[in-house]
Amino acid sequence: MRVEKEKHKVNIICLDRSVIVGVVHINPCTRLMDLLNRTGEDFIVVTNVTFQNIGEIHAFKLYNELSKKRNTICLNKNAIKWIEEL
């Protein structure tokens, strides 16, 4: 049985100072913090991703661009410094 996920647009600041705007998919009746605090899962999937204010982000091979788009990324939760729902 497949559970339809809720889409939440988020703004993420990473420890390397990269800014990511995208969508995370969460089970109904689950908070964003529940997704981040879930043990046993080190990564979250972010879709419709836009990297903003890029200086140099070597992990994603983005260099000196104002913005870059990706369909899907897997982001290590330990790399997240700050996250907010938009």
Domain for residue 71, yes or no? yes
Q: Does residue 58 register a pLDDT over 80? A: no
**pLDDT at residue 18, rounded to an integer:** 83
pLDDT at 16: 79
Q: What is the CATH number of the domain that holds 60?
A: 2.30.30.100
**Domain span holding position 18:** 6-85
Number of domain units in the chain: 1
| pLDDT value at residue 8 | 95
pLDDT digit string (tens) for 13-56?
998 788 999 999 998 988 999 989 988 999 999 999 998 765 55
21's CB contacts (< 8 A; 6+ apart) are 9, 10, 11, 12, 49, 50, 52, 86
